[in-house]
A and B are shown apart, each in its own frame.
Chain A
Amino acid sequence: MKLPVSWLKDYVDFEWTAEELAEKLTFSGTEVEGIETVGGTFDGLIVGALVAAEPLPGADRLRLCQVSDGRETLSVVCGADNAVAGAKIAFAPPGSTLPNGTAIGETTLADTVSRGMLCAEDELGLSDDHSGVLILPPDAEPGTPLAKILGGPETLLDLEVTWNRPDCLSVIGMAREVAALLGRPLRRPDIALNESGPAVTDLVAGVMIEDARLCPRYTARALTGVALGPSPFWMRRRLSLSGIRAINNIVDITNYVLLECGQPLHAFDADRLSERRIVVRTARPGERMRTLDEADRALTPDTLVIADAEQPVAIAGIMGGAGSEIGSATTQVLLESACFDPASIRATASRLGLGTEASRRFERGIDLAGVEWASRRAAALMVEHAGGSLAPGVIDAFPGDTPARSIPCRYDRVRAVTGMDIGNDTIASILESLEIPVAKKTADACIVAAPSFRLDIEEEADLIEETARIHGLDKVPATAPVSRIVPGASDEPFRAVSFCRQTLVGLGLSEIMNYSFVSPALLDLFGAGDADRRVALPNPVSADQGFLRNALTPHMAETLGRNLSRQVDHAAFFEIGRVFLRAEDGSVREESRLALGLMGAVERRTLRGKAGPGSADMFLALKGIVTALTKTLHVDSIGFEPEKQPFLEPGTAMAVYAGKNRLGGLGLLNRALRSEWRMRGPVAVAEFALEPLVVRAFRMPELKPLPVYPAVIRDLAVVADESATHGQIEAALLNNAPDVLVGIELFDIFRSPDIGEGRKSLAYSMTYRSSEKTLTDEEVNACHESAKNALRQTLGVDFRE
């Protein structure tokens, strides 16, 4: 909200500079986001009197104006429609300079010499308005320096009013804050109603509220014989400073009072209300209405409207209808001041995409008691500035009054919660300075009546906050922090994930972090078959973030691809994050996952070679990481089993098991996916459920005694067909292993013409040891021979000596 400082001074006296004021407000709860100065010093600019204004022959939209500067009359060509004879206007004579630096002199327009310029508000730096020249009060003397009329530059504070304080969305509301900070009185404008003619009840047939929950109060006043015209200059100036365009005196007054006290008002042309009747109701099926912004709007049955006897004439609390709009022909005015249900207004405004000054205030809640005050204030201003007569009395439909809430505020409690040493009397006087009346004081507490304009004050805690912010939070002392152990609290799951992260970092992988949102296109790349199980966002920010991710691997591949496109040709990444999975019954569950990804030359070798690792190296590098990680995290009985994954190269997909429990899988990204990101070399990816991986991270080590007897190591060179795998050989060896075979280590794979085409030699180092005695050569030889025999029988392999 933009707050003109000079307007604030109408209601409270203060000597602070704008900067001091801003600081005080910021530190009492209303953040000042900016201080702005509007309008210059207007050096050389003066009041001009339009002696005559005639259309300029030969130019469509231009007028030739005769402008008196008090001494002489100058001919000025002007394009503004409102430059009419008799008006006092802002005039820049030849030789003057506009606030924006434009030098004004003599020019020739449409073959006519123009001396000087009539100024619009934007040219004077007052606002963005260029709809016409600035019209000055009629009593302004030609030749008077403009600064004397406009009052010099204006300072505006840009306020961020918190959601709980709609009362601060008004000049008087902010003046109340300033008054409380200074302990000075708040001056409300005096209202003297000059009523005459027939009573309001003779002019308005009635006000009917169908649902008091949606409209707790509706007041109507009536004016007759009003003369529409511009509102006074000072009022237009204040509206303009506050960002509201001046329309005419009646409409301007409703907006002025809204800004002044925060109560939105609406003026209807009473002659255009059928039966001069007001019905506050929800819209009927099929009803439509043209609003003031010339939009034809369909009204849903939950839209609260103001209707006359026949049809809606306004969308309650949001915008009036074009059909009952105040226009130049208006003479009879029905002035509405009402209160509407915040939730209803918010829902309608949001559905229509129509946020207005009125709806912004109604949806946060307005002062129920202030409804009638605002009506009187506006009526008085209308009589003063639009003539006409105000019908005596007011129709005040007020079915929903609520009694004032009585709240005790315990002094000790204030001190205990704030940690500040605030005296009893100070507490009471701070509350009273905020116009929260203290009804009663006891030795321990004061009992206050919550004012109707403070909907946020419901209980003691709210009063403590009021006291604290006015007293000043800078007075809260900072003591030394004291620590006390909370017994039984454990954060082992968090630390286990943290340990997993550190382990991966130590293994050479860098952590990435992707959005939880994913595009359907990326999901499709990894398998379109799951489309019905995906979790779509009903209201995504953009279509390419339309789904919640159901796996981490797609983003991992995309991240590697993005890096590759940025000339990062190798990377080892991991991501820890949650995925979202839809169950059969439609419910959505989330699961923490770990993804790994390797691209390019990321193996241990430092001298990587230009070609980068081949498929097997890449796969084994990732498998090595998985093995190391599971070992560090104490995941027992790890096993790898072939499986099929649509996004992995066939034959490279392996599931990883802990016992019978599938933890996840790994493999090489298939060719089609790699081509998506122009990846030439192999890319290895893995994904695991995180929880079973880290659950034993902090397992206590179980120590075994060191071996007592020496081991005997015998090498074994197995010659087998290329199709035979290490896994088969190892399994066959283990299957027949005597107790004393305590280790099998593959240390070389060897191919040569000697061995034969399509064959390979796998060299194993076999460790034999007994826990009971030193093995003799004969015993070891027997074991070794039996191992060889077993291999020969099960796999048909040969041995190299």
Chain B
Amino acid sequence: MSVWVKTHTLPNPHTHTLGLRAKPALFYADMNAKEISDIRSRALAEAESAKTAEALETVRIRYLGRKGLLQDVMKGLKDVDPAERAEVGREANALKKNLDTLLRQRKSALDQSGSGAPLGFDPTLPGAWREPGTPHPVSRVIEDCVSIFARLGFTVAEGPDIETRYHNFEALNTPAHHPSLDALDTFWLDTGACLRTQTSPVQIRVMESVAPPVRVVTPGRCYRRDTTDATHSANFHQIEGLYVERGPVSLADLKSLLAYFAREMMGSHTDVRFRPHFFPFTEPSVECDFTCHVCGGRGCRVCKFSGWIEIAGAGMVDPRVFRKVGYDPETVSGYAWGMGVERIAMVKYGIQDIRTLYENDARFLAQFG
């Protein structure tokens, strides 16, 4: 910016040093071919002796510039004796052509001799622009999941880490004596609230606040009183989804959604299968296995030779849950699913120990660029 401004505001220093400028254009009315020829000789000599690109430019401006000598000659041409006009015109053209050619040659020659890397220029040195950082693999998986489901029209909904007993358990149809409510399994605070054990309470909060249709994914941190080991962590992340429609939705819709997700997330050869299971808030409940991406389903150590890896819990939303949030299960139906983010990260990137994800070793993190 500043460079641009400068060249346009400062007066051209050369305009003042040009003695020839003192002569008005009319002066050239009585010029002859010889005079032009002399100017040419002088111009060519100056061009020849110019040692720098700047000096060459000065010559060019003096003779060929917008307000240069040649321009004056051309302007004066109409006043020249018609008998000599053709001759003067030819000479002027020759001046222009010869000088122009010489200037280009000289410029090119100067460029050649003055160009090239300065002494000590070392192109093998490392690049000097800073390298980018990396997102955490857990964030990366969450963002990947969110973007896949976004293509199917799901938006993100989030909720608090500290939940009420009602939202985390009761509204999700968890029986009052279910072991998950135990202080052995759940972190209860002195306020009577708990750290959410799942992201499912966000589904309740969404349904409490909007009428169907609902289409959300709910990523977030969850807490369980698991003793930390290679596959368990007392805090971890889930991403759940909820789909509710005014009208019939079936297990087949759920299966096709998860099949789409499986292919997008783990590769185009990934297949899914359902196994019946139990969750308090869905009925029927299923566990969803993905084809083992390591062996492609042939069986390997990672999948314990089954060819399948358990990824998601899912099911049709239990009518008891719909009633809790004031939806009429006779007219509304839907499905929900949930997945462990660390689990997906471990399966997808081949991470052996979940604790690696929370150690934050820069050398580990740098690999997720």
Asked whether B146 is an interface residue with its Cβ less than 8 Å from the other chain, the reply is yes
Asked whether A240 is an interface residue with its Cβ less than 8 Å from the other chain, the reply is no
Which stretch in A50-58, A147-155, A486-494 binds the other chain? Answer: A486-494
Nearest chain-B residue to A455 (Cβ)? B175
Asked whether B117 is an interface residue with its Cβ less than 8 Å from the other chain, the reply is no
Contact of A509 with B251 in the complex, beta carbons under 8 Å: no
**Contact A483 to B153, CB < 8 A, known contacts A505-B135, A507-B133:** yes
Bound-state Cα–Cα, A481 to B215, Å: 13
Partner of B183 from A342, A420, A539 at Cβ < 8 Å: A539
B244, chain A: closest CB distance, angstroms: 10
Set of chain B residues within 8 Å of A61, measured between Cβ atoms: none
Partner of B250 from A417, A590, A607 at Cβ < 8 Å: A417
Complex interface residues of chain B between 131 and 153 (CB less than 8 A to chain A):
131-136, 138-139, 143, 146, 150-153
Asked whether B325 is an interface residue with its Cβ less than 8 Å from the other chain, the reply is no
Partner of A163 from B9, B146, B187, B278 at Cβ < 8 Å: B278
Set of chain B residues within 8 Å of A494, measured between Cβ atoms: 146, 156, 158, 219
Nearest chain-A residue to B233 (Cβ)? A515
Bound-state Cα–Cα, A55 to B160, Å: 73
Partner of B155 from A483, A491, A512 at Cβ < 8 Å: A491
Contact of B155 with A710 in the complex, beta carbons under 8 Å: no
Set of chain B residues within 8 Å of A164, measured between Cβ atoms: 278, 280
Asked whether B126 is an interface residue with its Cβ less than 8 Å from the other chain, the reply is yes
Contact of B250 with A541 in the complex, beta carbons under 8 Å: no
B220, chain A: closest CB distance, angstroms: 9
Contact of A511 with B275 in the complex, beta carbons under 8 Å: no
Complex interface residues of chain B between 254 and 280 (CB less than 8 A to chain A):
255-257, 259-260, 272-278, 280
**Contact A478 to B256, CB < 8 A, known contacts A462-B283, A515-B358, A571-B362:** yes
A163-187 interface bits toward B, Cβ cutoff 8 Å, 1 = contact, 0 = none = 1110000000000000000000000
Set of chain B residues within 8 Å of A468, measured between Cβ atoms: 251, 276, 284
Asked whether B357 is an interface residue with its Cβ less than 8 Å from the other chain, the reply is yes
Complex interface residues of chain B between 87 and 136 (CB less than 8 A to chain A):
125-136
B269, chain A: closest CB distance, angstroms: 15
Which stretch in A25-33, A265-273, A716-724 binds the other chain? Answer: A25-33
Set of chain B residues within 8 Å of A460, measured between Cβ atoms: 319
Asked whether A343 is an interface residue with its Cβ less than 8 Å from the other chain, the reply is yes
A356, chain B: closest CB distance, angstroms: 15
Set of chain B residues within 8 Å of A572, measured between Cβ atoms: 133
Contact of B251 with A573 in the complex, beta carbons under 8 Å: no
Asked whether B184 is an interface residue with its Cβ less than 8 Å from the other chain, the reply is yes
A3-30 interface bits toward B, Cβ cutoff 8 Å, 1 = contact, 0 = none = 0000000000000000000000011110
Partner of A476 from B189, B214, B248, B274 at Cβ < 8 Å: B274
Set of chain B residues within 8 Å of A325, measured between Cβ atoms: none
Set of chain B residues within 8 Å of A514, measured between Cβ atoms: 358, 360
B197, chain A: closest CB distance, angstroms: 13
Contact of A510 with B133 in the complex, beta carbons under 8 Å: yes
Contact of A606 with B126 in the complex, beta carbons under 8 Å: yes
- How many contacting A-B pairs (Cβ < 8 A)? 263
Contact of A346 with B256 in the complex, beta carbons under 8 Å: no
Bound-state Cα–Cα, A479 to B135, Å: 35
Chain B CB within 10 Å — which of A164, A476, A485, A516 has the most? Answer: A476
Task: Tally A residues with Cβ within 8 Å of B.
Answer: 102
Set of chain A residues within 8 Å of B235, measured between Cβ atoms: 515-517
Set of chain A residues within 8 Å of B129, measured between Cβ atoms: 604
Asked whether A474 is an interface residue with its Cβ less than 8 Å from the other chain, the reply is yes
Partner of B276 from A420, A465, A489, A509 at Cβ < 8 Å: A465
Contact of A509 with B139 in the complex, beta carbons under 8 Å: no
Asked whether B31 is an interface residue with its Cβ less than 8 Å from the other chain, the reply is no
Which stretch in B45-53, B74-82, B221-229 binds the other chain? Answer: B221-229
Contact of A510 with B362 in the complex, beta carbons under 8 Å: yes
Contact of B158 with A27 in the complex, beta carbons under 8 Å: no
Contact of A479 with B133 in the complex, beta carbons under 8 Å: no
Chain A CB within 10 Å — which of B128, B184, B250 has the most? Answer: B250
Contact of A605 with B250 in the complex, beta carbons under 8 Å: no
Contact of B136 with A590 in the complex, beta carbons under 8 Å: no
A571-588 interface bits toward B, Cβ cutoff 8 Å, 1 = contact, 0 = none = 111101110100000111
Set of chain B residues within 8 Å of A511, measured between Cβ atoms: 133-136, 139, 365
Nearest chain-A residue to B157 (Cβ)? A491
Bound-state Cα–Cα, A187 to B109, Å: 107
Asked whether B55 is an interface residue with its Cβ less than 8 Å from the other chain, the reply is no
**Contact A517 to B130, CB < 8 A, known contacts A480-B256, A505-B135:** no
**Contact A459 to B319, CB < 8 A, known contacts A28-B276, A510-B362, A604-B130:** yes
A707, chain B: closest CB distance, angstroms: 9
Asked whether B162 is an interface residue with its Cβ less than 8 Å from the other chain, the reply is yes
Complex interface residues of chain B between 161 and 202 (CB less than 8 A to chain A):
161-162, 176-179, 182-184, 187-191, 193, 195
Bound-state Cα–Cα, A326 to B190, Å: 45
Contact of B134 with A417 in the complex, beta carbons under 8 Å: no
Bound-state Cα–Cα, A91 to B9, Å: 114
Contact of B365 with A512 in the complex, beta carbons under 8 Å: yes
Chain A CB within 10 Å — which of B129, B184, B255 has the most? Answer: B255
A534, chain B: closest CB distance, angstroms: 11
Asked whether B252 is an interface residue with its Cβ less than 8 Å from the other chain, the reply is yes
Bound-state Cα–Cα, A29 to B135, Å: 39
Contact of A588 with B5 in the complex, beta carbons under 8 Å: no
Bound-state Cα–Cα, A27 to B187, Å: 33
**Contact A418 to B155, CB < 8 A, known contacts A578-B161, A713-B6:** no
Given contacts A461-B318, A498-B143, 7 further A-B contacts (CB under 8 A): A417-B251, A419-B251, A469-B276, A478-B255, A479-B253, A494-B158, A710-B8
Query: Which 6 A-B residue pairs are closest in the complex by CB-CB distance?
Result: A419-B252, A419-B250, A162-B278, A29-B276, A491-B156, A465-B284
> Please, could you name 16 A-B residue pairs with CB atoms under 8 Å apart, sorted by A?
A346-B177, A461-B283, A474-B273, A484-B153, A489-B155, A498-B143, A506-B132, A513-B136, A516-B195, A516-B235, A559-B360, A588-B189, A588-B191, A590-B161, A605-B128, A606-B125
**Residues in B lying within 8 Å of A, measured CB to CB:** 1-2, 5-6, 8-9, 125-136, 138-139, 143, 146, 150-153, 155-158, 160-162, 176-179, 182-184, 187-191, 193, 195, 213-216, 219, 221, 223, 225-228, 233-235, 248, 250-253, 255-257, 259-260, 272-278, 280, 283-286, 316, 318-320, 329, 333, 357-363, 365-366
